[in-house]
Amino acid sequence: MAVALHAPITFAAEAAKPATTADSKAAFKNDDQKSAYALGASLGRYMENSLKEQEKLGIKLDKDQLIAGVQDAFADKSKLSDQEIEQTLQAFEARVKSSAQAKMEKDAADNEAKGKEYREKFAKEKGVKTSSTGLVYQVVEAGKGEAPKDSDTVVVNYKGYADRR
C-alpha cells in the first residue's frame, strides 16, 4: 500500500499553531535536517490533534501503538499486511463517522431543547409576541404610519441574538 505524504499541503495548517519548544537552540547540520525535523514535528502535532478530536467522539487510541506503527513502517516491519491495514482503517473511518454522527445528533437534540426552553421563557416576557409560524419576537419600538400591504417592499431593522446579548 503506497501512501503519498505532501507535507506543505497536509501539515501547513498545523505548523502555524503555537507550540512550546523543547530546545530553542536546537542545532541542525543543514537545512535538510531542519526540514526533516520540522516535518516530523508538524506530523506529530497533527497526529496529537487528531487523537484529541477522536477522544471528543469517545474514541481513545493508544498513542504508543500509533508511534510503534510509524516506526515499524519506517523499518518496513509492519505487524499487519497491507490488506489488514486497509480493512482496519476502513473500519476505523466508519467508526469515527458513526461516532461523529451520534455526537452531532446529540448536540442537535440538546440545542433544540435549550432553544425550546429559551423560547418558552422569552414568550412570557412583557411585549413578546408569537407569530402563526412559531416565531417569538418582541417589538422594541413600533413603527408609525400605515401598515404595509402584502405587495409592498419594506425595510426592517432586525437584531437577532442567540444568547440575548
CB atoms within 10 A of CB 81: 10
Fold of the domain spanning 7-17+28-79: Helix Hairpins (1.10.287)
| pLDDT, tens digit (0-9, with 9 covering 90-100), for 9-37 | 444 455 455 556 666 566 899 999 999 99
Average pLDDT for residues 146-162, to the nearest whole number?
Answer: 85
Beta-carbon contacts of residue 54 (< 8 Å; ≥ 6 apart): 60, 61, 96
The residues of the chain that CATH labels 1.10.287.460 are 7-17+28-79
Kind plus residue range of the DSSP H or E element containing 137: strand 136-138
Q: What's the mean per-residue pLDDT of the chain?
A: 86
pLDDT at 93 (0 to 100): 96
Burial (Cβ within 10 Å: 0-12, 13-18, ≥19) of residue 42 = buried
The CA-atom distances, in angstroms, between 148 and each of 30, 79, 155, 156 are 74, 74, 11, 12
d(CA 139, CA 141): 6
